[in-house]
């Protein structure tokens, strides 16, 4: 049994690049009808990635590239599903999205809101483009182009910083203005902030950017920053609807 698990992990390490692609297919074409299934697929992908990398002495570029591809496919799958849901809501007014589970956890009001088309077209289209760019960069590194140009890293980081700022605005609009929680949107927030701290730390470490001694040291704690960001997000979500969450118990 132990030998079989070890053999499976070795196989997954060898063909790691297929893992995010399989997830993307499952999330969009198989699990899309139930947001719970998509989240289960996300958990499985993240856990498998962590298990595969355990005990490996990977170069920082390879480690980052693996997480970039994983986080990017999670983000792009959420963006694709949101795009599909928006089309179905527009063409079928009675359509009930898969992510509408309760009076609070409902994505229809978010998708149909003016904020969901901040630039005159669906925000999810930006996500599809942006996460595909991150995925392509990660795959390029995994294919052997380890040393990418400084300008590419700066451009990539600039796009991620924009995405994080945009997600912050969308978080506020959805949670505190519209008053609904979209679970696919939440996936987008989580992966964008994880990418922000990981890519920022990498760029500082390799001197692609310099934010000053104190900020450079602060942003080097990427995993701690991810945990803090997630904690703040979930605390705000609990604070916003504390009565509703407590009523479920």
pLDDT tens track for 17-34 = 899 999 999 999 999 989
Give the CATH fold of the 2-247 domain.
de novo design (two linked rop proteins) (1.20.1440)
- pLDDT for residue 201: 97
- pLDDT for residue 89: 87
Q: Tell me the mean pLDDT in the region 82-102.
A: 87
* Radius of gyration from C-alpha coordinates of the chain: 19
Q: What is the rounded CA–CA span in Å between residue 64 and residue 72?
A: 12
The residues facing 181 across adjacent strands are 105
Q: Is 179 left (phi over 0), alpha (psi -120 to 50) or beta?
A: left
Q: pLDDT class for 219, splitting at 50, 70, 90?
A: very high
| Whether residue 1 has pLDDT greater than 70 | no
- Indicate the DSSP class of residue 122: -
Q: Where are the domains of the chain?
A: 2-247
- pLDDT for residue 13: 75
Question: Who has greater pLDDT, 173 or 54?
Answer: 173
- pLDDT for residue 77: 97
| Whether residue 96 has pLDDT greater than 60 | yes
- pLDDT for residue 2: 53
Q: What is the rounded CA–CA span in Å between residue 11 and residue 5?
A: 10
For the chain, the average pLDDT equals 92
Q: What is the rounded CA–CA span in Å between residue 157 and residue 45?
A: 24
Q: Tell me the mean pLDDT in the region 24-46.
A: 95
């Amino acid at each position: 049994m132990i030998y079989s698990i070890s053999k499976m992990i070795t196989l997954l390490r060898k063909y790691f690049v297929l893992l995010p692609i399989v997830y993307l297919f499952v999330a969009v074409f198989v699990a899309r009808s139930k947001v719970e299934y998509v989240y289960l697929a996300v958990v499985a992908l993240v856990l498998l990635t962590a298990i595969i990398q355990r005990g490996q002495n990977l170069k920082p570029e390879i480690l980052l590239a693996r997480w970039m591809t994983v986080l990017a496919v999670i983000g792009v799958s959420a963006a694709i599903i949101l795009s599909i849901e928006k089309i179905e809501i527009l063409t079928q007014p009675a359509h009930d999205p898969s992510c509408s589970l309760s009076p609070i956890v409902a994505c229809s009001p978010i998708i149909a809101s003016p904020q969901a088309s901040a630039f005159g077209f669906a925000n999810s289209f930006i996500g599809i483009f942006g996460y595909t760019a991150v995925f392509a960069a990660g795959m390029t590194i995994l294919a052997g182009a380890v040393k990418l140009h400084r300008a590419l890293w700066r451009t990539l980081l600039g796009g991620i910083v924009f995405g994080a700022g945009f997600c912050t605005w969308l978080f506020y609009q959805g949670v505190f203005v519209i008053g609904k929680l979209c679970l696919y949107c939440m996936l987008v927030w989580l992966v964008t902030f994880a990418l922000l701290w990981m890519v920022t730390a990498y760029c500082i470490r390799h001197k692609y950017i310099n934010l000053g001694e104190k900020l450079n040291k602060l942003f080097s704690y990427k995993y701690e920053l991810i945990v803090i960001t997630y904690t703040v997000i979930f605390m705000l979500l609990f604070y916003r609807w504390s009565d509703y969450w407590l009523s479920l118990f």
